[in-house]
């Protein structure tokens, strides 16, 4: 199939494979990743041997923030072996809701002036923060018992 492609089409396929956008897939990040792997297999003659380290780099660079952090921390468990890397990603996705829309890290803690006078004994306004899992995936294992707000 690639042999019949004109050079411009080959460049377009290479661009898509080397710079995928997993999160734009209908089923979320995981679905985009699976579709990308299938395209890699289909276009193997065009790509030649795309090494494990390159594939790992492409996936890590496009992973949602929380998954990317997990992959960085777990790097010793997969090294430059894509099959081991895939197991780590699959395990993470199963444990954290599968589809994964783009996740962002919670805001960094801000400095607090310890000399500033507070408002009492911690009795806040009653407002609840947002549930990040529900916001990012549309699901929360705690359901109505979650202490965070599930409003969209």
Q: Give, in degrees to the nearest 5, the angle at Cα 109 between 107 and 114.
A: 150
What is the rounded CA–CA span in Å between residue 27 and residue 76?
Answer: 30
Decide if 116 contacts 91 (C-beta within 8 A): no
Q: What sign for the dihedral angle of Cα 8, 9, 14, 17?
A: positive
* pLDDT band per the 50, 70, 90 thresholds, residue 105: very low
Positive or negative torsion for Cα 122, 124, 128, 132: negative
Which pTM was predicted? Answer: 0.60
From CA 69, how far away is CA 73, in angstroms rounded?
6
Quick one: what percent of the chain has pLDDT higher than 90?
Answer: 28
Give the model's confidence band at 102: pLDDT under 50 very low, under 70 low, under 90 confident, else very high: very low
Q: Does residue 24 register a pLDDT over 90?
A: no
Cβ neighbour number for residue 28 with a 10 Å cutoff: 22
147 against 86, higher pLDDT? 86
**116 pLDDT exceeds 70?**
no
Q: How confident is the model over 49-58, as a mean pLDDT? A: 88
* Mean pLDDT, rounded, of the chain: 79
pLDDT at 43 over 70: yes
Spatial distance between the Cα atoms of 129 and 105, rounded to a whole number of angstroms: 15
pLDDT at 111: 54
d(CA 119, CA 67): 37
Specify the pLDDT at position 42.
Answer: 87
Q: Quote the pLDDT of residue 109.
A: 55
């Amino acid at each position: 199939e690639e042999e019949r492609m004109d050079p411009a089409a080959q460049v377009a396929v290479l661009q898509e494979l080397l710079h995928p956008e997993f999160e734009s897939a209908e089923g979320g990040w995981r679905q985009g990743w699976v579709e990308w792997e299938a395209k890699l297999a289909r276009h193997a003659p065009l790509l030649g041997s795309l090494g494990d380290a390159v594939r790992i780099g492409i996936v890590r660079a496009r992973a949602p923030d929380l998954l990317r952090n997990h992959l960085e921390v777990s790097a010793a468990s997969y090294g430059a072996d894509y099959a081991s890397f895939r197991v780590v990603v699959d395990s993470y996705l199963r444990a954290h809701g599968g589809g994964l829309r783009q996740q962002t890290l919670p805001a960094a803690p801000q400095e607090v002036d310890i000399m500033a006078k507070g408002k009492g004994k911690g009795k806040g306004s009653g407002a609840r923060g947002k549930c990040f899992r529900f916001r990012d995936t549309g699901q929360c294992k705690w359901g109505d018992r979650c202490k965070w707000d599930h409003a969209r």
